[in-house]
Chains A and B, each alone.
Chain A
Amino acid sequence: MNWRRMLALARKESIQIRRDWRSLAVVLLMPVMLMTLMGYGIALDQTDVPLCVYDREGSQLSQDLLKSFVSNRYFSLKLDARDYRQLVTAVDGGVCTVGVVVPLYFSKLLNAGRPATVQAVIDATDNNTANLIIGYTQAVVARFSAAVQLDYQQRRGPALGAPSLGLQARTWFNEDLESRNFIVPGVVALVMAVIGTFLTSLTIAREWERGTMEQLVSTPVTAAEVIAGKLIPYFVIGMTDAATCAAISGWWFEVPFRGSVMTLFVSSAVFLIGVLLLGFLISALSRTQLAASQFALLTTFLPAFLLSGFAFPIDQMPIAVRAVTRIFPARYYVTILKAVFLKGTGIEPLFAPMLAMALFAAAVGVGAVRGFKKTLD
C-alpha cells in the first residue's frame, strides 16, 4: 500500500464529489427523507382506533366504563349504537374496528360483588392490529375492574375476600412500550445500509463506463489503493449521514438516547466501512452502473429490512433463516443501536456484535480487492 497513491485517489474522488454538487445534495438529504418516510410510515402503535359502543344498561357504572375507553389516545368513539345490529354493521362495514357491548344488569352484578362480562367485537382482518386492540381493550377493562373492586371493598369494610395475586410488570428500556423507540434504531440501520452501499456501488463501474479506468489501471496503482483511496471521502459522507440519522432519531422522533456518543460513533464507523466495502465489491464485479445499483439495492435493502430483526423478530425465524441473518451486518447494527439508544449500554458488552461487523467488513474488503481486476476483457 503506497500512501501517496492512495491519497491521490482520495483527493481526486473528493474533487469529483464536490463538483457534482447535485448528487452530493441528494446523498446528504437522503437520510432525512428516508428517516421521515420510514419513521412515520412504519408505526406499529395503534392510536385512535375507531370504536363503537352499545350500552344495553345505560347506568352510571356502564357509562363510566365506556368513558374510560374514550378518555385515552388509543380509542376514539365513532358510534354510540342503539342496538346490536347497528354495532355489527359498523364493524362489518369497516367504520369501526372494535365494538364494545355492555350487558344488561352490568351494574347490578358488580354492586352485588359478582363478576360481570363485557363483550368486545374486533375486526381481525389484520391480526397484528387485532392483537394490539385486544391488549388495549383488556388493559382498559382491567383498570376499570380494579377500581370497581377497590370501591366495593372500601364500602364493605376490611376485606374478607380472597387475597389477590397480581403481576407488576415493569417494562425496562422502553417504559412506554412506544413502538417508535424500537423501530427508529432499525430504520437508522436500514437507511445506513442502503446509503452506504449505494454510495460506493457506482464509483468503480462509473470509471469503467467513462473509460477513465483503462488509463488508471495502466499505472502502478494497486487494487487496495484504489479501494482505500475511494473509501475515504465516502466514509466522511456516510458518517455525516449517520450523524443526521442519529440527530433525527433523538430530536425529531424523541427516541431516548442513553448511551455514549463514542460507542455510537465507533459502531457506526465499523458498520459503515462494511457496507461501503460491499458497495465496492458490487462495483468491482459489475462493469455497468445500472447492474451495480440494482445489485446494491437487492443486497442491502432486503436483508436489512427482513433479516435484521427490524421487521420480524429473529428469534421467531426458522433455524435456517436465523443462520442466514448472521451474515448481514445490519442485524448487529440494529442490536447495537437499540442497546446504545435505549439501554445506554457501554462498548464492552457490545464487543461481539462489533466484532461480527468488523469480520463482515474484512471479508467484503478482501473480496473487493480480489474482485477488482486491473485488466479489461
Chain B
Amino acid sequence: MPDESWAVVVEGLVKDFPPVRAVDHLSFRVSAGEIFGLVGPDGAGKTTTMRVLAGVMAPDEGSAVVCGCDVVRDPEAVKQHISYMPQRFGLYEDLTVSENIRFYADLFGISRRQREQAAARLLAACGMSEFSGRLAGKLSGGMKQKLGLVCALIHTPRLLLLDEPTNGVDPLSRREFWAMLYELAAQGVTIVNSTAYLDEAERCHRVALMHRGRLLFCDQPQRLKQRLPGAVIAVVSPIAARLREELAHADGVHSVLLIGDALHLFVDDAARRIPQISRALDAKGLFYDEVVRITPTIEDLFVNAVTAQEPH
C-alpha cells in the first residue's frame, strides 16, 4: 500500500544519457503539503528528475511513486493529479492568455464556470487580469512564468512540479511567484521545484542538493547549514578578488568562495581564525572593511560539499 503521507517517494533512480549518467541512484521523499527544492548547478540532473516525476521520461533503474501512483510502471495514472511546468516555456505563444488557460482547463475536464472563476482569481493574484487577451508570446519572461503557473493551477493539482520556474524572472515577479507558492502549500498542494539559485533554495521547506546526478544532502535549509563542519567567516573588501589568492592557503581555511565583494572562508574554528586573518591582512597592508563570522548560506554549504567531494 502506498503511504499517503508521502507525495513523492523516489528510490534508487538512475537515468543514463550515454556517456553521461544524468541521475545516479537518487533517493528522496517529499511529504504532502511540502515545498521541496531540488537544488544544484546546471547538469546536476534536476530536469531529468522532474521529467521522471511528471511521467514524461522513463528512468533506467529505480522507482518513483508520485501521489500514490507508480510513475515507472504506469506513467499515465499520475497525470490527472499533477501539474508540470517544464523549464522551457511550454504554452502556445500564438494563443492568448485566456485561450491557453481554456485549453489546459479542457484537458483536465474543468467546467466552464469553474474555469472562469479560477482563471479570474489566479490572474488577479498575479496581477495579470488585464492581459487575458494578449498573445502569450507577447508577454514578458516573468508574466510567461506566471501564466504557466495559472495554467498549471487551473485544475487544482495535488502535486506541482516546477522546473526552474523563476529562471530569467525579475526579482519583483519572483517575489510574487513565491507568495503564490506559499499560499498553495498552505492549501495542501505539494510543490517540488528545481532551482540553480541557492538563495531561492532557502525559501523551500526542505531541499535536496544535487551534483552530477547524485544527492549530496537532503534536509531543511537551516539544518543543512548546521551540518557544515567548522564555520564560515566573511572578509568584506573592495579588493576581495585579490585577497582570494592570499587567503586560499592560509592555515585552517578549507575553501574560499567569492560572493560579490565578500570572500567566504570555510574554517575549522572561527574564534581562532578571525584574529589570525585580520593580522595577516594588516601585515601585508591589504585593505578590508571587516572580517566577521556569518551564518552560512546554502551556497556556502553547496560549495563546501562539492569541494569536499572532489579534492583538488
Contacts and interface: CB of A to CB of B under 8 A. Distances in A.
Interface of A: 2, 4-5, 7-8, 11-12, 15-16, 19-20, 210-212, 214-222, 374-377
B88 A4 contact: no
Top 4 A-B residue pairs of the complex, sorted by shortest distance between their CB atoms = A215-B90, A8-B106, A218-B84, A211-B88
Nearest to B90: A215
Given A12-B95, A16-B92, A217 B107 contact: no
B205 interface: no
B262 interface: no
B153 interface: no
B75 interface: yes
B178 interface: no
Interface stretch (B54-62, B218-226, B278-286, B291-299): B54-62
B108 interface: yes
Contacts of A11: 103, 106
Nearest to A374: B56
B103 A214 contact: no
Contacts of B82: 218
A19 B94 contact: yes
B86 interface: yes
B54 A218 contact: yes
Nearest to A7: B106
Contacts of A221: 107
A15 B99 contact: yes
A220 B85 CA distance: 14
B79 interface: yes
A5 B106 contact: yes
Nearest to A221: B107
Nearest to B17: A377
Interface residues of B, number: 32
A214 B106 contact: no
B107 A218 contact: no
Given A220-B79, A374-B75, A8 B107 contact: yes
Contact of A219 (B89, B102, B107, B161): B107
27 contacts: A4-B106, A11-B103, A12-B95, A15-B99, A16-B92, A19-B94, A210-B93, A212-B91, A212-B92, A214-B51, A214-B56, A214-B88, A214-B90, A215-B84, A217-B56, A218-B79, A218-B161, A219-B79, A219-B104, A220-B76, A220-B80, A374-B56, A374-B76, A375-B56, A375-B75, A376-B51, A376-B57
A218 B95 contact: no
A20 B88 CA distance: 22
Contacts of B84: 215, 218
A293 B54 CA distance: 30
A98 to B, nearest CB: 60
B188 interface: no
Contacts of B92: 12, 16, 212
Nearest to A207: B92
A19 B103 CA distance: 16
B229 interface: no
Given A214-B86, A218-B56, 5 more contacts: A214-B51, A215-B84, A218-B83, A374-B56, A374-B76
Contacts of A376: 51, 56-57
B109 interface: yes
Nearest to B103: A12
Contact of A215 (B55, B85, B94): B85
Given A15-B95, A215-B90, A216-B90, A377 B107 contact: no
A225 B95 CA distance: 20
Contacts of B55: 218, 374
Contacts of A217: 56
Contact of A375 (B57, B86, B95): B57
A80 B290 CA distance: 112
Contacts of B51: 214, 376
Contact of B107 (A5, A20, A210): A5
